[in-house]
Amino acid sequence: MSIAAARRKRSQSVRIMAGVGALIPLLMLMNIAWGTVSIPVGKVFEILSGADTSNVAWNNIIWMSRMPQSITAMLAGAALAACGLMMQTLFRNPLADPSILGISTGANLGVAIMVLSLNGSMVVGTIMGYTANILAAFVGALAVLLIILSLSGKIKNTAMLLIVGIMIGFMASSIISVLNFYASKENIQIFVLWGLGDFSNVTWNEMPSFAIASTIGIAFALLQIKPLNALLLGENYASNLGVNVKRARYSILLAAGLLIAAVTAFCGPISFIGLAVPHVARMLLGTSNHKTLLPATILLGSVVALLCNLLTTLPGEGGIIPINAVTSMLGAPVVIYVIFNRRKLQYFS
């Protein structure tokens, strides 16, 4: 590629990322204005500017419900998309996603133990119960992450590490099945509802913890751009370039693990965003260079999550549908397209 062509390509990528980034505040505003309770758009702007505080109910809906939910969707989407891209590059598999190593299943197991085994329904709906579920999910996810990290130093073959991670996920799922078998119907319902995923779980009280964890994870992911680019051509090639493959794999797993642990702990398991968004970003940019691909994927992840959160609210008084129902409807066609065009879409050398 000539220097002029490279500059045009870079300029085009910048324009695309700027356009995607501009959608974030627009979608956030739409999420704040749209909901099951109809609030005039003019009143929304007045409340956001602090000019109108007469309607206490509308103020509470916007500031205490819709605003933190929008911020949560933005951060969670960015985290899941970054995690999915790292997993696909590390394992050189376009169908890899954040849950592939069983870390999210570990979070599920932590919540299952809390709700199904320790009778978490007694405190559900309270601050103590919600905090306990977050801690249980985070501990479960980190436990699996630590196992994967410890094994990554002993298993040199990345494909074998992937298989081990999948098996750990299966074992965690089997334990959850046993807990479900002996649990009460009420506790099973609580666990199933948590498993549907929800961006509205994070209130202002939990927002600092979630925002800090997500931001640190995303920043750590951005530091992996150089090793990710080297791994595109395989571990042997990366090693010849002077990259410490073992350390790079450890760092990528740690970054991805922290991101998926944080999102799953606070929002529940969110499907398809981490799997589909990296492919959409690749198709938009026409490149696998993580220097532009990773930031674009992060921005696009926020856009997709905000869009999905907006679509969960049905018109009129139709209510709200689970977030995973929307992410699956939007993400599944992308995955199907990737499957049928794997030869055409050359992501890895």
Q: Mind listing the pLDDT tens digit for each residue in 221-246? A: 999 999 999 888 777 787 877 788 88
Q: Which of residues 324 and 194 earns the better pLDDT score?
A: 324
Q: What is the pTM of this model?
A: 0.90
Q: Mind listing the pLDDT tens digit for each residue in 1-24? A: 567 766 777 788 889 899 999 999
Q: Mind listing the pLDDT tens digit for each residue in 64-76? A: 999 999 999 999 9
- Distance, in Å, from the CA atom of 171 to the CA atom of 178, rounded to the nearest integer, reads 11
Alpha carbons within 13 A on the beta-carbon side of 128? 4
- Distance, in Å, from the CA atom of 69 to the CA atom of 266, rounded to the nearest integer, reads 12
Report whether pLDDT(266) > 60.
Answer: yes
> In order of start, what are the domains of the chain with their CATH numbers?
3-340 (1.10.3470.10)
Residues 6+ apart with CB under 8 A from 114: 120, 132, 133, 136
Q: Mind listing the pLDDT tens digit for each residue in 71-109? A: 999 999 999 999 999 999 988 888 888 888 888 888 889
Nearest residue to 228 via CA among 249, 255, 259, 242: 249
User: DSSP assignment, residue 126?
Assistant: S
Q: Rounded to 5 degrees, what are φ and ψ at 75?
A: -70, -40
